[in-house]
Amino acid sequence: MKISKLLPIFMLLFLAISCTRVKTINKKEHSFNSYPERLIFLQIPGLSEEHLAYLRYKKPLFRHQTWSESFTCFGKMWRHNLHELRPSVEDSLVSQITGHYGSNKTCDLYAEVPLWSVLEKFNYQSAVVERNRSQGVERALKCNDKFYDESTVFVSSVGTGKLSQEYFHVEREKEYLKNKIYLDESCSKAKCFSKSSSVFFHVWNSLVERPKKLLVFKDYSLINAINSNNSAAFFEYLEELSKLIADINGTIVSRNPNTTLVVSSTSPQRIKWPRSSKTWKGINLAKSTTGEELMAPIWATGAMAENFCGVYSEVDVFNRLFWRPQKTRLPLLDALDF
């Protein structure tokens, strides 16, 4: 049989094989270059990937997988900026959502366009939550009173009375307006009685105006526990974070393929774990924490998660939320100069 007659057969076989090839990453099926319609960005300062050892080793035989093992991609971020090897926590978190290093002038970072302002052009409805600290919102507004103009801000922290006269409660539904700040009614002078997971889902479920959504959730609970040497609060929050991420994956990501979940850290605190995991519950964080790491972890799952594998700078997180191979780029991205 002549080669010319066999050629169509070979072509059909090649097409059949190509069509049945399954694209995977981290041993899971994955659709590459998908554009997310729902973007969830959890920022957990202080978190190190080794903290998850507590979740991994707390049960016999070490068969309990952590939430991080279900994610598509894991990366490490260089924390330095143009002036410091270890920037402040707030500077790092803002750099991740603006894509800029800033300068040695305090307010320069807040002159940049944040993530929610960019996504407003794509018709996203956005919310920002600051949990167990309010200085970030206060500093942003002092530097640039328009910084949160394209989002709704929720602050769940003590000592926030001067920020706003508007309030929210996790057990009461309410319509929230853009360019407004809402304070958590459950927060007294000493503590907030709402849980991080309750605040997250209350805010997420309030985003009903548009099908495209962004939620940036900054939670300082973990780093607060480490800094105050509160091991009970530290372990409690690791459990709470694990449940929150499991619930997000189960009720949002798994039901909506075009959802991206990113979990990032900054200023991760290295802990020297005792040899026996049985003694970890009583660990003295002040004596066992050996300082900040120079690189911070980041995890991603869902649409576009492939962009977050590897090693890169914290400021590159912003660009990775938009980056596409040239052949699959959207015209609007080029128009916005991304």
pLDDT tens-place string over residues 127-174: 999 999 888 899 999 999 999 999 999 999 988 778 888 999 999 999
Q: What percent of the chain has pLDDT over 70?
A: 87
Torsion of CA 334, 335, 336, 338, to 10 degrees: 10
Strand-strand pairing, 269-271 and 310-313: unpaired
For the cut 70, the answer to whether the pLDDT of residue 19 exceeds it is no
Q: How confident is the model at residue 29 (pLDDT cuts 50, 70, 90)?
A: confident
Domain locations in the chain as residue ranges: 36-152+211-281+290-335
* CA–CA–CA angle 165, 171, 174 (5° rounding): 55
Residue 251 is classified by DSSP as: I
The architecture that CATH gives domain 36-152+211-281+290-335 is 3-Layer(aba) Sandwich (3.40)
Question: Which pair of tokens denotes residue 15?
Answer: 């097409």
Is 244 or 60 the better-scoring residue by pLDDT? Answer: 244
pLDDT of 170-203, one tens digit each?
Answer: 999 999 999 999 999 999 878 899 999 999 999 9
For 322, the token pair is: 């938009």
Q: Please say whether the dihedral angle defined by the alpha carbons of residues 154, 158, 161 and 166, taken in this order, is positive or negative.
A: positive
